[in-house]
């Protein structure tokens, strides 16, 4: 029996390179004659542009071009960018031009570009561009934006509503009629940002001889960039290559197409020189999509024992100044309902609202953290009001293992009914509570309180729809040396795809992991791809790798069966060889590859086609649902308002685990992301729409010192929806984290009667909450 | 009905680029930090190396390295290069080291390499390398090499015989017993060279981060180079990319792997810099493989009416100093027997002999011109001796149309019986004679002789085994813009593959020719390939393009049939659209491609897989045979010995013609190649093995002023062996040309009794022949 790779706790193949500084990110790529770009960005949240004077910028030595929109010429100057996700539900579709035309709608909107010999010259020249603005009142708060008479985010718009969404099932009216209890939660969820280590970066090159345009971009979606660039530039896709080289984190904002990608491409074509732009951190705050502000107001009807009868409510969703990605982010905030619970009825509406702030797109979890926060806060509200154990209220409402596949009543994007495939929610919760020593928590809490210290325990459960379709593809080729080359369109931003795919392929082909090399995210290397988003790559690319490797395996078996004149079922692939089981007859897998490569002196054996290779496309037509529970234990310093995370437990079910180390890394990173959301990160705008926290001194990211021990347990309920039983894991650390931490803080502050309805829980807000609760409580 | 592309006389898509100097040949590629290599080559035909002093070369400013074999280190220094075409028939297998180890065996053999900032520094430094030689007697003539006591080409060898080959069928002894006539021909066929416009060139680059080695080479066989480089360097093929960019002619010598390709690769890896080497013309004469000298002695037994009973004989084949390509060249000189004729019996033997001359490999026709020359000279010998019309002797011996498939009695490389697939040899001959006005020739000749001028008419028929297996592959992808990207491993050296493949694909997909773009010969773009040799690309890659396009066509049909809810047989592809025949229902083919590319908002339609693309591999397991006849009319100036070509007729059957312009171009070029062989090109060695014609002043290539009108007629007997009925055409201009021209000269000099038994027929040799014939004829 050969070595098993799937499920083995192998180290990431990428890490020796990445951890010793040998990654090759877009900004690491240098080309002879390369120029650098800097963008002139709007200084106002809302203004008309009366004129742009580029003459001083153009006169600066070393400047090759300074352009406003009109200078870009047709087709880029002809109109706004394409809507990436068109929907008939969009009432007012606003997508920006690649450079502002005659109106700017958020601080940071690109207005002009300067291309120069160096970045510093380009920045100096950008500062010389004189834009004549005529300011217009801005709208900043999404609820205020829906008030009558509010300023409009676009001067020629009819109000600020972009779209209205609604979801639901069951008889909500009946559920609330005569309900034993109805409770209300009112929640403000903050936008924050994604803040990958690497900002965005683009390098565009055009070869006038071949007509080929090559764009390197720090993107999650090279195929989307290719498709939209070709459409915007009116060029044939075969003349366009998009590569996502090493990318230092994505988390969602890098999944969409940006103006800079189009501007750089045109610059390379017009100037005949490679042109690069790498975002700086200050730009990243305003020029790269943020998360979103959402206000949630929910009512829940429940039985006396805490079992829910129905939920109804309304969400106001701030999409920022534009709608580049359609309604995907907004819709994804409703899609996770009813969470882990067998909810009989639901009715939710959501307003997608424009404001004069940076546009928003999905960030890790893509709205699911918001939905799960709302659901879990609702459960905690029931427990608090009914005096029940929050864990017990969850148990009473969970979908039970025997109910799978569980049809929730929701509809998927294609209109088909949503069905959860598998899970064991109660087992996850109970395991997490046990790992957290929840049984001993009451004593710990009491002991602490006796010393004037405030401990809290919070739990949160979640489900996540993962493995979004339609597909990714993987090509597998065996070399004459017994190496295995795996090529895929699935882009990596550091998630360890190369290792995961290598494990799947090595397992099937019986080769050492080190023999497998993965190339990804180069549209010239693999023809089709979707994007690395939505916890989908292990499911889609992983399953495709398995399909492709299986086809290669079967071809090697047929070759060897004919060679050794035995039945195919006696052939096994292991230790780099293709063997007749139970004999010493074998051939190196590389020798099989060589034989199938053919030479003029060596024909392909009859019945086989050239090449030991195959392409697999796994089409994800149904959705594997990951699930689990988190438990957070915190201490709140009621004097300073500081929240200390003491312990954090995740019990997680992503079906069959390919690489425990990578899954644990994803979960840990996801929890840290949630910790940032819950406690630290705040993107503050003033009333005029000026962002006031555009550096990492004012916008606080969690660092190692803020992170508690995060312990992870795995429950594996394999998905029946793909050959390896995989579910996604990339976002599920984040999704319940805010809810668990907020619940723990609320639990810690229970003596003061604090009910937490918003985040981040930074020290000032914690102190304010305590003060407000004390003030509201009769002494 | 859409536009037809196959058979249309379209202009080559490549030409605007190539004819305006925008080709990109290996030597056009520049890289930052690129170094240049020059080779130190043996000055002696045979010598031992006592020592190599590289110190002066290394001391020259700008020199980065000066290396002999040992300096290259393992594995390159460990032993000789691999035999490219191993065969159990090889008795003594001599393949050179990448740099000479301790013995040089031909003038031009690489001994050391210098790598410097520029080519001129590298050449200056190469001149400073002091090689201490100890000369050894050389063997130069291949027949002398087989004499007892002849010097040996390799000092430790047992004589000069590399291998003995034998072919035959039927009862030769019986054929000659009591034969009415037996005649003998004794022929010396000269080696010459290939002389593409571009010599060889190599650019090697190594990326230490990724471990990827990229080699651009002016090769016909990028996949062979990849396979052998990986094996020689002991690296995995997935770490190696070989690209044949624009290549300025191949003709055979560029089909093999050369020492320079390995040395440059190692240099790039050792120095961490791109390294280039481009051959100069003087190097090309000695460092790139030549054709071969062959001595043929045949006997033919025939009836009184000229019908052949059998042929027997012996060939001495000069393979030069090494056997890089095994016995392929030697074997190919026997394979075309029995030519166009229904020969009852055959027995031929061939000695493959080493001499101290540049190694030999196939050149256009690859031995077939020699075999056809021998067969056609034999026919002419019969006609001359029996006083018959040479055309009539051919007619009496031809295989007749009703005999196809005609099993000749020969064996193919895989041991299977050779069968000619289709043809109409007599029709080709008669058409050629009519086009040449052969009926009026006797009068023209008589009239000329009356004025002391000597006209001659010669005819030659041929067959060619084309479309050598095992395969080429082609990938076809349709873009959202309706463009079609065709990718293939089949390398082009100017033959117009891009146009030919585009025609085949455009025909099937109903798109404009200009929408099709072809990428070829990049091992990273297409996984498997063989080589552009042996008149095989139209058959193998052309058929593969048809197969791939058919699969794409059928997928588009399935998509549209479902979309329009009609039966698939009602869907047609034309004018860039997928239409319901007889209605105005249609969709752009690019829209189908877009739909099948998928996005997160747009799943792949049920029943279809992602991508409007397909890969086709046509496996050529049987051999289409091209055929035809040439007629040359010449005037010989008996005073100066100059041969003037007055008229040249080709009637040619390569089955279905894809592009008449390209086929005519191939035939014209091939005939010119044959004219050079017949009349001008002579690679002269002196008795010590020094080549004395290593420039284009002494080695005469035919130029436009020497070329007569070449008129071409087509007969199409489609091959039943592939879907489009294609046969190869790349070499068939050359194959009969020498025979036709020599016959014409002999015919012109018939009054003097000249029998031509060798070529080239340069003026000196023609005058000598006339003088010798006059001297031998009783006055």
The residues pairing with A587 across neighbouring beta strands, listed in sequence order, are A578
Tokens of B218: 């002016």
Nearest CA in chain A to B604: A470
When pLDDT is cut at 50, 70 and 90, the band that residue A2 belongs to is low
Residues of A in contact with B522 (CB under 8 A): none
Stretch A656-678: mean pLDDT: 97
B 617-636: CB under 8 A from A:
617, 619, 621
Q: So what's the pLDDT on residue A482? A: 98
Q: What confidence tens digit (pLDDT) does each residue in A211-258 have?
A: 999 999 999 999 999 999 999 999 999 999 999 999 999 999 999 999
Nearest CA in chain A to B22: A209
A 527-556: CB under 8 A from B:
527-528, 530-531, 533-534
Residues of A in contact with B226 (CB under 8 A): none
- Find the CB nearest B617 among A87, A599, A610: A610
Stretch A347-369: mean pLDDT: 96
DSSP state, B76?
G
B259 neighbors B72 (Cβ within 8 angstroms): no
Q: So what's the pLDDT on residue B414? A: 81
Residues of B in contact with A528 (CB under 8 A): 597-598, 610-611, 613
Tokens of A314: 């309304």
A 382-421: CB under 8 A from B:
413-414
Asked if A85 lies within 8 A of B601 by C-beta distance, the reply is yes
Nearest CA in chain A to B486: A238
What radius of gyration do chain A's Cα atoms show? 28
Residues of A in contact with B477 (CB under 8 A): 238, 527
DSSP state, B677?
I
Task: Kindly state whether A85 is in contact with chain B, defined as any CB-CB distance less than 8 angstroms.
Answer: yes
B86 neighbors B173 (Cβ within 8 angstroms): no
Residues of B in contact with A473 (CB under 8 A): 610-611
Nearest CA in chain B to A86: B601
B 219-248: CB under 8 A from A:
223-224, 227, 230-231, 235-239
DSSP state, A257?
-
Tell me the torsion sign for CA atoms A427, A431, A433, A438: positive
Tell me how many residue pairs between chain A and chain B have CB atoms under 8 A apart: 161
Asked if A604 lies within 8 A of B471 by C-beta distance, the reply is yes
Residue B737 has pLDDT above 80, yes or no: yes
Asked if A599 lies within 8 A of B209 by C-beta distance, the reply is no
Task: Kindly state whether B65 is in contact with chain A, defined as any CB-CB distance less than 8 angstroms.
Answer: no
Q: What confidence tens digit (pLDDT) does each residue in A464-521 have?
A: 999 999 999 999 999 999 999 999 999 999 999 999 999 999 999 999 999 999 999 9
Tokens of A677: 């959301």
Asked if B604 lies within 8 A of A236 by C-beta distance, the reply is no
User: C-alpha distances in angstroms, B429 versus A522, B141, B261, B435, B653?
Assistant: 55, 37, 45, 10, 11
Residues of A in contact with B22 (CB under 8 A): 209
Task: Kindly state whether A354 is in contact with chain B, defined as any CB-CB distance less than 8 angstroms.
Answer: no
Nearest CA in chain B to A536: B600
Q: What confidence tens digit (pLDDT) does each residue in A141-197 have?
A: 999 999 999 999 999 999 999 999 999 999 999 999 999 999 999 999 999 899 999
Stretch A724-742: mean pLDDT: 97
- Find the CB nearest A238 among B231, B485, B524: B485
Residues of B in contact with A243 (CB under 8 A): none
Residue B425 has pLDDT above 60, yes or no: yes
DSSP state, B691?
B
Q: Does the model's pTM come out above 0.90?
A: yes
Task: Kindly state whether B481 is in contact with chain A, defined as any CB-CB distance less than 8 angstroms.
Answer: yes
Cα first-last separation, chain B: 73
B98 neighbors B204 (Cβ within 8 angstroms): no
Residues of B in contact with A17 (CB under 8 A): 209
Residue B119 has pLDDT above 50, yes or no: yes
Q: What confidence tens digit (pLDDT) does each residue in A248-297 have?
A: 999 999 999 999 999 999 999 999 999 999 999 999 999 999 999 999 99
User: C-alpha distances in angstroms, A312 versus A172, A178, A370, A378, A419?
Assistant: 7, 15, 16, 11, 21
Pairing of strands A130-135, A308-318: unpaired
Residues of B in contact with A600 (CB under 8 A): 85, 328, 468-470, 530-531, 533-534
Helices (H) and strands (E) in chain A, counts: 19, 28
Q: So what's the pLDDT on residue A779? A: 58
Asked if A617 lies within 8 A of B609 by C-beta distance, the reply is yes
CA atoms within 13 A on the CB side of B167: 22
Residues of B in contact with A533 (CB under 8 A): 600
Q: How far is CA B61 from the centre of its chain?
A: 42
Tokens of B250: 């191949």
Residues of B in contact with A239 (CB under 8 A): 483, 517
Could you identify the residue written with the tokens 């195919």?
Answer: A568
Asked if A480 lies within 8 A of B32 by C-beta distance, the reply is no
Domains annotated for chain A, with CATH where assigned, are 31-136+194-287 (3.90.1170.50), 419-466+623-778 (3.30.365.10), 468-619 (3.30.365.10)
The whole-chain average pLDDT of chain B stands at 96
More reliable by pLDDT, B3 or B240: B240
Residues of B in contact with A32 (CB under 8 A): 32
Distance (Å) from the alpha carbon of A576 to chain B's nearest alpha carbon: 14
How far apart are the C-alpha atoms of B490 and B495, rounded to whole Å? 11
Nearest Cα neighbor of B63 from B125, B141, B138, B134 is: B125
Distance (Å) from the alpha carbon of B287 to chain A's nearest alpha carbon: 24
- Find the CB nearest A600 among B468, B527, B603: B468
Asked if B609 lies within 8 A of A619 by C-beta distance, the reply is yes
- Residue B14 region by backbone torsions, left for phi larger than 0, else alpha for psi between -120 and 50, else beta: alpha
Asked if B600 lies within 8 A of A485 by C-beta distance, the reply is no
Q: How far is CA A354 from the centre of its chain?
A: 22
Q: What ipTM score was computed for the predicted complex, to two decimals?
A: 0.94
Residue B1 has pLDDT above 50, yes or no: no
Task: Kindly state whether B207 is in contact with chain A, defined as any CB-CB distance less than 8 angstroms.
Answer: no
How far apart are the C-alpha atoms of B276 and B269, rounded to whole Å? 13
- Find the CB nearest A230 among B238, B328, B481: B481
Asked if B480 lies within 8 A of A602 by C-beta distance, the reply is no
B 1-30: CB under 8 A from A:
17, 22, 24
Q: So what's the pLDDT on residue A1? A: 44
Q: In 3-state terms, what secondary structure has residue B366? A: coil
Residues 6+ apart with CB under 8 A from B85: A599, A600, A601, B325, B326, B327, B328
Residues 6+ apart with CB under 8 A from A528: A223, A471, A473, A489, A617, B597, B598, B610, B611, B613
Q: So what's the pLDDT on residue A259? A: 97
Asked if A603 lies within 8 A of B613 by C-beta distance, the reply is no
Asked if A238 lies within 8 A of B209 by C-beta distance, the reply is no
**Helical residues (DSSP H) of A522-659, grouped into ranges:** 537-564, 589-597
Asked if A470 lies within 8 A of B527 by C-beta distance, the reply is no
């Amino acid at each position: 029996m050969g070595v098993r790779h799937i499920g083995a706790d192998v180290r990431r193949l990428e890490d020796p390179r990445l951890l010793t500084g040998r990654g090759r990110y877009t900004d690491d790529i240098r080309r002879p004659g390369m120029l650098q770009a800097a963008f002139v960005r709007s200084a106002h949240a809302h203004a008309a542009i009366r004129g742009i004077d580029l003459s001083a910028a153009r006169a600066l030595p070393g400047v090759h071009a300074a352009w406003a929109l009109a200078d870009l010429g047709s087709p880029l100057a002809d109109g706004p960018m394409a809507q990436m996700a068109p929907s008939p539900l969009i009432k007012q579709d606003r997508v920006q031009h690649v450079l502002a035309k005659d109106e700017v709608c958020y601080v940071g909107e690109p207005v002009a570009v300067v291309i120069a010999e160096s970045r510093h010259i380009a920045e100096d020249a950008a500062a010389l561009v004189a834009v004549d603005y005529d300011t217009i009142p801005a709208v900043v708060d999404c609820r205020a934006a829906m008030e009558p008479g509010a300023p409009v985010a676009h001067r020629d718009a009819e109000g600020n509503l972009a779209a209205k969404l609604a979801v639901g099932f069951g008889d909500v009216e009946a559920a609330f009629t005569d309900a034993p209890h109805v409770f209300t939660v009112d929640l403000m969820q903050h936008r924050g940002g994604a803040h990958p280590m690497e900002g965005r970066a683009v390098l565009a090159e055009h070869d006038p001889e071949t007509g080929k345009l090559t764009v390197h971009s720090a993107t999650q979606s090279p195929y989307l960039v290719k498709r939209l660039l070709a459409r915007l530039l009116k060029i044939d896709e075969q003349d366009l290559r998009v590569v996502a080289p090493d990318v230092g984190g994505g988390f969602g904002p890098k999944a969409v197409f940006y103006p800079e990608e189009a501007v750089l491409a045109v610059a390379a074509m017009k100037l005949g020189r490679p042109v690069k732009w790498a975002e700086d951190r200050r730009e990243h705050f305003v020029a790269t999509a943020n998360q979103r502000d959402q206000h949630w107001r929910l009512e829940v009807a429940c039985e006396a024992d805490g079992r829910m009868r129905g939920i109804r409510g309304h969400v106001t969703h701030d999409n920022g100044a534009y709608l580049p990605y359609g309604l995907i982010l907004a819709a994804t905030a409703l899609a996770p309902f009813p969470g882990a619970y067998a909810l009989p009825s639901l009715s939710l509406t959501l307003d997608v609202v424009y404001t004069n702030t940076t546009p928003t797109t999905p960030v890790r979890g893509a709205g699911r953290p918001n939905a799960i926060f709302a659901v879990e806060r609702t459960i905690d509200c029931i427990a608090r009001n009914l005096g029940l154990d929050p864990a017990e209220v969850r148990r009473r409402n969970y979908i039970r293992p025997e109910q799978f596949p569980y049809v929730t009543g929701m509809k998927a994007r294609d209109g088909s009914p949503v069905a959860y495939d598998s899970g064991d929610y109660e087992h996850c919760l109970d395991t997490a509570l046990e790992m957290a020593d929840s049984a001993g928590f009451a004593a710990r809490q009491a002991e602490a309180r006796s010393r004037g210290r405030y401990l809290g325990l919070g739990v949160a459960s979640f489900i996540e729809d993962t493995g979004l379709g339609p597909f990714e593809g993987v090509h597998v080729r065996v070399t004459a040396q017994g190496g295995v080359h795996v090529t895929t369109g699935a882009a990596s931003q550091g998630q360890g795809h190369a290792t995961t795919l290598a494990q799947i392929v090595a397992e099937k082909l019986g080769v050492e992991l080190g023999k497998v090399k993965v190339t990804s995210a180069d549209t010239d290397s693999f023809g089709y791809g979707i994007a690395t988003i939505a916890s989908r790559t292990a499911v889609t690319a992983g399953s495709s790798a398995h399909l492709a490797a299986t086809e290669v395996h079967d071809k090697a078996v047929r070759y060897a069966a004919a060679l050794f004149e035995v039945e195919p079922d006696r052939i096994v692939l292991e230790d780099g060889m293709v063997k007749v089981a139970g004999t010493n007859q074998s051939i190196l897998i590389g020798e099989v590859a060589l034989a199938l490569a053919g030479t003029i002196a060596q024909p392909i054996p009859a019945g086989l086609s050239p090449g030991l290779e195959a392409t697999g496309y796994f089409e994800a037509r149904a959705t594997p649902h990951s699930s689990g529970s988190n438990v957070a234990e915190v201490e709140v310093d009621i004097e300073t308002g500081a929240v200390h995370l003491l312990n954090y437990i995740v019990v997680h079910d992503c079906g069959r685990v390919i690489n425990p180390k990578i899954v644990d890394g994803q979960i840990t990173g996801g929890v840290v992301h949630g910790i940032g959301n819950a406690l630290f990160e705040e993107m503050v705008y003033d009333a005029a729409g000026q962002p006031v926290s555009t550096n990492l001194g004012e916008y606080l990211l969690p660092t190692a010192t803020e992170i508690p021990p995060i312990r992870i347990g795995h429950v594996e309920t394999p998905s029946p929806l793909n050959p390896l039983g995989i579910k996604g894991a990339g976002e599920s650390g984040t999704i319940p984290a805010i809810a668990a931490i907020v619940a723990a803080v609320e639990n810690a502050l229970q003596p003061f009667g604090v009910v937490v309805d918003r985040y981040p829980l930074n020290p000032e807000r914690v102190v304010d909450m305590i003060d407000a609760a004390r003030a509201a409580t009769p002494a």
